Amino acid sequence: MDPRLCNVEEEVYEAHKNELEPTLAKRAEHYFTENRRVAKGLEAWKSGNSQDFGKLISASGSEPLIQLNEILQRAPGVFGARFSGAGFRGCCLALVDADRAEEAASYVRSEYFELQPELASQLNADSAVLICKPGDCARVI
């Protein structure tokens, strides 16, 4: 049998999870709960439910970016925020009401740089927070 979790049905995992070594059990549990959360997020996105989608992308993260994520959660117009790539400082993305994007970006810059003055001195404040719009899909240009 292939030992990768992506090849294990969740029902099989549930039936045997108590047999796993604790560290592996924790990682496997994270894998399956994240998969369920992503599936729910896809449903919310397809139905246009920005509030539920925002909550779902906010439901997971890593320690190095908690401060930034908490600031994003309080920012005006933000439906939810998500950590991404914690290895080299990582980043957060947020789903924001387009009409309030500039206001949210300004708030995040101000709040985060007040808490992290060493970063403020290293970064260009204008490029530290980027406002992006979603595209149609990945494609060859």
| Side-chain-facing half-sphere of 87: CA atoms under 13 Å | 1
Among the listed residues 75, 61, 62, the one whose alpha carbon sits nearest the alpha carbon of residue 110: 75
Query: Residue 125 has what pLDDT?
Result: 67
Is there a single domain that holds both residue 110 and residue 81? yes
138 within a domain of the structure (yes/no): no
CB proximity list for 86: less than 8 A, separation 6 or greater: 62, 63, 64, 65
Give 17-38 pLDDT, tens digit per residue: 999 998 888 888 888 888 888 8
The residue segments making up the domain with residue 105 are 60-133
Q: Are residues 81 and 115 in the same domain?
A: yes
**Please, which pLDDT band fits residue 61 given cuts at 50, 70 and 90?**
low
Q: DSSP letter string over 28-48?
A: HHHHHHHHHHHHHHHHHHHTT
28, 89: one domain: no
User: Which is nearest to 78 in space by CA: 61, 62, 60, 92?
Assistant: 92
CATH classification of the domain holding 127: 3.30.70.890
Structural Rg of the chain based on CA atoms: 18
Give the confidence band of 42 by pLDDT, cuts at 50, 70, 90: very high
Residue 78 forms beta bridges with which residues?
Answer: 96
Sign of the dihedral through C-alpha 6, 9, 14, 19:
negative
Quick one: which H or E segment has residue 92?
A: strand 91-96
Domain count, the chain: 2
Residue 21 forms part of a structural domain: yes
Dist CA 15 CA 55 (whole Å): 29
Q: pLDDT tens for residues 80-131? A: 988 776 444 567 889 999 999 999 999 998 998 888 887 777 777 677 788 9
Q: At how many degrees (to 10) do helices 66-74 and 101-115 cross?
A: 140
